[in-house]
Amino acid sequence: MTYNTAMQKATLADIPADGHGLISKRTATLDGVEVTQVTFGVGAKWSNDLKEYAGTEDCELPHVALVIAGTLAVLMADGEQEEFSAGDVMLLPPGHDAWSVGDIACTFVEFSRGNDYYAAGHAE
């Protein structure tokens, strides 16, 4: 793969949000790497706000992200559960539900290039 050697810049706040229920996202693409700011509003839950849109029982997308505000609870299909708060970095395999915790929206920034982890055969 050949990469562009020029610097690139995008401002997430300038990108219109794509919303589904209480969950919204803004995505910037820089030389093939997608950077997405996802916000789970207070009371947001993937299975309530995005399940119908996704058409799957659980979220089947992997996520590599940095939580920048609030707390996100994640429940894996196998029953494992974890909370991620501002400052935490998370790597979530496919097969999970997630929801905001408390009275502060949870915002995280995810990086598509992190999905290479799964493409390289590291998934269980």
User: Which domain CATH number covers 85?
Assistant: 2.60.120.10
Contact 120, 91 (CB under 8 A): no
Within a domain: 123: no
Within a domain: 49: yes
Could you tell me which residues come within 8 angstroms of residue 89 by beta carbon, excluding any fewer than 6 positions away? Answer: 64, 65, 66, 67
pLDDT tens, 67-76? 999 999 999 9
Q: How many domains does the chain have?
A: 1
Question: What's the domain range around 87?
Answer: 33-115
Longest C-alpha distance within the chain, in Å? 45
pLDDT tens, 19-71? 999 999 999 988 878 899 999 999 999 999 999 988 999 999 889 999 999 99
- pTM of the predicted protein model: 0.84
C-alpha 98/C-alpha 44 separation (Å) is 9
* Cα distance from N-terminal residue to C-terminal residue, the chain: 26
